[in-house]
Structure 1
Amino acid sequence: MGIFERYLTVWVGLGMLAGVGLGWMAPGVFQTVAALEYAHVNLVVAVFIWVMIYPMMIQIEWSAIKDVGKRPQGLALTLTVNWLIKPFTMAGLGVLFFHHLFAPWVDPQSANEYIAGMILLGVAPCTAMVFVWSQLVRGDANYTLVQVSINDVIMIFAFAPIAALLLGVTNLAVPWETLFLSTLLYVVLPLLAGLATRRALLRRSPQALEAFVRGIKPWSVAGLIATVVLLFGLQAETILAQPGVIGLIAVPLVLQTYGIFFLAWWGARWLRLPHPVAGPACLIGTSNFFELAVAVAISLFGLHSGAALATVVGVLVEVPLMLSLVAFVNARRPAQAAPTC
């Protein structure tokens, strides 16, 4: 493990501080970057995420994807957590904290909007960052791709009904451009680029592929840190202006993240999943598709609403929390290739 991966938590922490500092000192630069978006997908963030994902995509073998069907338990665990548990626990925690525990400090309208933002996060399982977490825990790249792809298909049909049910609205409009563009940028294009690179390198030799993957790995970590700096820079004014509100919203999000993960981790142990499948299966259900959640929050409640703020807080807390869970998974990685977790 290289120095970047070994001290990744330190680099991410420094990236968070650097992002807030740069966003405070040069807000105009980050405003310009924020304007470079299409269908609520920031194109600069997309480039950084693409850099993170590409190294993992090179490791995917089409011939091995068919073998995923021989081990359906990991996929079943992911789908159960993502669609039958996670949205409802997120809604329950939102109501518990903002209608009861935090009620003395939050007005009812803001409370409802914060809950709505949390629900939108809970109904949007991650599409992009999952590949990064899977790579960091040495997950099965082929299995992870299948899990993400099936989640994306289900999201097309399930996102609107579940979100509408929990939000109590009947005219929920899904931003299809955001969903389509994110899938294209974060799954389809890097996958095609990775497969083309893999094929070209294998024509030379397996050693050429191995050397290329080893050499490009640091770029994945660099892309993660650059994404953290940019995200925190884009939200620096909000972080500095409303630290108390952000802290309140972060509390149930932290509980949701750890609660969902450890529920999935218990399920993985019960199913006796091998580590390369169990690690990503637990992390997929924990991470969120923040572009979609932010886009829907803005369209339903407005750019400066509490719902939009809650989805942004979800973005800010996700990376450090997920890194702590990556560390947990790696600490329990068996010495051999694929014993049970």
Structure 2
Amino acid sequence: MSGLDLAPGPPDSAQVVNRLSILDRFLPVWIVAAMALGLGAGRAVPSLADHLDSVQIGSVSLPIAIGLLLMMYPVLAKVRYGELGRVTGDRRLLVSSLALNWIVGPALMFALAWLLLPDLPAYRTGLIIVGLARCIAMVLIWNDLSCGDREAAAVLVAINSAFQVLAFGLLGWFYLRVLPGWLGLPGAEAHFSLSTIVVSVLVFLGIPLAAGYLTRTLGERAKGRQWFETRFLPKVGPLALYGLLFTVVVLFALQGNTITARPWDVARIALPLLAYFAIMFAGSFALGHRLKLGYPKTATLAFTAAGNNFELAIAVSIGVFGVTSGQALAGVVGPLIEVPVLVALVYVSLWLGRRMTARSAG
């Protein structure tokens, strides 16, 4: 990625677009092309999915794990770790993020799943699991493209990761077993492996976080901050987008047959997901604006609240219900909808930032 370093405050969209590389500027095109390539490869070579999924880290395919690590490392290398104290001191941001991620988000997905999929219990359960898996990976990409606060994003991702290990199983039990019983609804049988969650967090956050921190610390010590940010980061920055595109290709190659064979089911699953992303983003952005967090932190709050950890949701759904289950299909449809929608919301965020700037100037 281009690694924009704009001054604090809402960015000017023309400035953003002009500073984007060709790769970044046409990101929606590359995303759609990667999805099509993955679907086509999965259909053309039926055994490809078995080969790609033959080696795993935890319950996640090794190629997907590699793509996620490539995707996250450059973004975490861009974080100025010495400024993290500024973020942790902002209680409005931290409290808002925790409430949105661990109270509002799961409750909203539960409500939408029951409202829009009352007759499809497997898909409904899969969507509830998606709602419980808070984002720790791709949110860094969307935050960076929207010129959000990198240090704030790093802190919020770390906090979500800790809560994920501690709360995922408990919340799964509550939303799949306890709450339906209170409401007179049928519950779902599910048991979440703590080891699956811990491995997911350690691999997809711990490894790139350690690499990013060490790279910046050692690079600045050896060559200085100016060299690190003007010479080194531009060279490794594109790896993030290459990793994203590679992950999308592999993900859709793994599930291409399932997705294309059941288009109506995919459409039914997509409807609550679309509503979820729109409501979470709009509500979070409005809250950040009302709290006067400023554009960078408001954008970060909105994207960290709207995104979901699809790799964990897929891993848990496959581990608990099986690779051919409806729950697993719901998990796979998650990124099918999330990736293009959040790319679009990057442009919405920049437009809102421009409106905020105009009002401030007026």
TM-score over 0.5 for the alignment?
yes
Q: How does 1:80-229 map to 2 (within 5 A)?
A: 80-99=99-118, 108=119, 111-168=120-177, 172-202=190-220, 203-210=222-229, 211-229=231-249
Q: Which residue of 2 aligns with 1:318?
A: 338
**Contact 1:275/1:334 (8 A) holds in 2:** no
Alignment-mate amino acid for residue 156 of structure 2: Q
Instruction: State which of 260, 266, 270 in structure 1 corresponds to 2:290.
Output: 270
What's the TM-score once normalised by structure 2's chain length?
A: 0.85
Q: Name the CA distance, whole Å, in 1 between partners of 2:189 and 2:266.
A: 29
Q: Name the CA distance, whole Å, in 2 between partners of 1:141 and 1:62.
A: 10
Residues 112-160 of structure 1, C-alpha deviation per residue, up to 9 Å, x if partnerless?
1111111101111011112112221222222111111111222223222
Residues 282-311 of structure 1, C-alpha deviation per residue, up to 9 Å, x if partnerless?
111111112322233234333322112111
The percent of aligned pairs where both chains have the same amino acid is 31
**Contact 2:88/2:155 (8 A) holds in 1:** no
**Contact 2:48/2:253 (8 A) holds in 1:** no
Q: Which residue of 2 aligns with 1:238?
A: 258
Deviation at 1:241, TM superposition (A): 0.8
Q: Which residue of 2 aligns with 1:255?
A: 275
Q: Name the CA distance, whole Å, in 2 between partners of 1:244 and 1:120.
A: 21
Instruction: State which of 25, 31, 35 in structure 2 corresponds to 1:16.
Output: 35
Deviation at 1:70, TM superposition (A): 2.5
Alignment-mate amino acid for residue 157 of structure 1: L
Deviation at 1:261, TM superposition (A): 0.9
Q: Which residue of 2 aligns with 1:27?
A: 46
Q: How has the CA–CA distance of structure 1 residues 153 and 199 changed in structure 2, closer, same or farther, with 3 Å as cutoff? A: closer
Moved more, 287-296 or 258-267: 287-296
Matched, 1:70 2:94: no
**Contact 1:20/1:236 (8 A) holds in 2:** yes
Deviation at 1:249, TM superposition (A): 0.8
Alignment-mate amino acid for residue 224 of structure 2: S
Q: Flag structure 2 segments of 5+ consecutive residues without an equivalent.
A: 1-19, 178-186
Q: How has the CA–CA distance of structure 1 residues 195 and 299 changed in structure 2, closer, same or farther, with 3 Å as cutoff? A: closer
Tell me the secondary structure at the aligned position of residue 58 of structure 1: helix
**Contact 1:19/1:233 (8 A) holds in 2:** yes
What's the TM-score once normalised by structure 1's chain length?
A: 0.90
User: For the aligned residues, what is the CA RMSD?
Assistant: 2.1
Matched, 1:3 2:40: no
Moved more, 67-76 or 50-59: 67-76
**Contact 1:231/1:316 (8 A) holds in 2:** no
Q: Flag structure 1 segments of 5+ consecutive residues without an equivalent.
A: 100-107
Alignment-mate amino acid for residue 309 of structure 2: F
Q: Name the CA distance, whole Å, in 2 between partners of 1:129 and 1:17.
A: 20
Q: Name the CA distance, whole Å, in 2 between partners of 1:333 and 1:214.
A: 25
Moved more, 159-168 or 2-11: 159-168
Residues 216-257 of structure 1, C-alpha deviation per residue, up to 9 Å, x if partnerless?
222211111111111111111012211111111111111111
Q: How has the CA–CA distance of structure 1 residues 222 and 38 changed in structure 2, closer, same or farther, with 3 Å as cutoff? A: closer
Q: How has the CA–CA distance of structure 1 residues 197 and 283 changed in structure 2, closer, same or farther, with 3 Å as cutoff? A: same
Tell me the secondary structure at the aligned position of residue 288 of structure 2: helix
**Contact 2:164/2:197 (8 A) holds in 1:** no
Deviation at 1:27, TM superposition (A): 2.5
Q: Name the CA distance, whole Å, in 1 between partners of 2:172 and 2:280.
A: 18
Alignment-mate amino acid for residue 332 of structure 2: V
Deviation at 1:171, TM superposition (A): 7.2
**Contact 2:59/2:319 (8 A) holds in 1:** no
Q: Name the CA distance, whole Å, in 1 between partners of 2:99 and 2:202.
A: 25
Alignment-mate amino acid for residue 215 of structure 2: T
Alignment-mate amino acid for residue 280 of structure 2: I
Residues 162-192 of structure 1, C-alpha deviation per residue, up to 9 Å, x if partnerless?
2212211697432223222222222222122
Q: Which residue of 2 aligns with 1:327?
A: 347
Aligned length: 329
**Contact 1:73/1:271 (8 A) holds in 2:** yes
